[in-house]
Amino acid sequence: MEKNNSKVYWKENIKYLFILLTVWFLVSFGGGILFKDFLNEFKFGGFKLGFWFAQQGSMYVFVILIFIYVKLMNKLDKKYGYDK
């Protein structure tokens, strides 16, 4: 049971990592680099959108991602009794 528990816990952890890191990749390497020229067609105040992702937006998303991860993992720890 104990062994099984840890396997399921690890699987869910990996799933979270996969989702969060996909977002991490999309905002920085996607929005800020690969799709920059396309996004620059759009404007956000005085910012061209691709430029904004590169110099502002991706950093804000990074911070949010870590705090989401903290929340998700605290919940997961509790669910499997690893929060002690």
Residue 77's nearest CA partner among 24, 69, 57 is 69
Secondary structure of residue 25 in the 3-state scheme: helix
Residue from 8, 38, 79, 81 touching another protein (CB under 8 A): that is 81
Any alpha helices (H) in the chain, and if so which ranges?
2-25, 36-39, 49-52, 58-79
Torsion of the alpha carbons at 74, 79, 83 and 84, rounded to the nearest 10: 170
Interface residues for another protein in 10-69 (CB under 8 A)? 10, 13, 17, 20-21, 24, 28-29, 32-34, 36, 40, 44-48, 51-52, 54-56, 58-60, 62-63, 65-67, 69
Interacting residues toward another protein by CB under 8 A: 6, 9-10, 13, 17, 20-21, 24, 28-29, 32-34, 36, 40, 44-48, 51-52, 54-56, 58-60, 62-63, 65-67, 69-70, 73-74, 77, 81-84
